[in-house]
Amino acid sequence: MTRHDPLARVRIVLVRTSLPANIGATARAMLTMGLTRLALVAPKRFPHPDATALATGATFVLDAANVVGTLADALAGTSLSIALSARPRHFAGRVLGIRDAAHEAITHAASGDVALVFGTEMSGLSNDEVARCSAIATIAANPDYASLNLAAAVQVAAWELRMAAHGGDVWNAPRFRSATHEDIEALYAHAQRTLEALGFYDPKHPRRLWPRLRRLFARAGLEHEEVHIFRGILAAIDDACDRARRA
Show contacts with a copy of itself in window 9-68 (CB under 8 A): 25, 28-29, 31-34, 56-58
Burial class (CB in 10 A: 0-12, 13-18, 19+), 219: exposed
Residue 149, interface with a copy of itself (CB under 8 A)? yes
Q: Kindly tell me which residue out of 8, 67, 68, 163 binds a copy of itself, with binding defined by CB under 8 A.
A: 163
3-class DSSP state of 10: strand
Residues 194 and 239 sit within 8 Å (Cβ to Cβ): no
Fill in the amino acid letter for 21.
Answer: A
Question: Shortest distance, CB of residue 122 to a copy of itself, whole angstroms?
Answer: 12
Q: Report which secondary-structure segment, H or E, holds 102.
A: helix 98-108
Binding mask 81-120 for a copy of itself (x = CB under 8 A): ------xxxxxxx-xxxxxx--------------------
Find the part of the chain contacting a copy of itself (CB under 8 A) among 40-48, 71-79, 107-115, 153-161: 153-161
Within residues 192-231, the interface with a copy of itself by CB under 8 A covers 195, 198-200, 209, 212-213, 216-217, 219-223, 225-226, 229
Residues 120 and 147 sit within 8 Å (Cβ to Cβ): no
CA distance 187 to 139: 52
φ, ψ dihedrals at 174, nearest 5°: -55, 140
Question: Shortest distance, CB of residue 219 to a copy of itself, whole angstroms?
Answer: 5
Residue 241, interface with a copy of itself (CB under 8 A)? yes
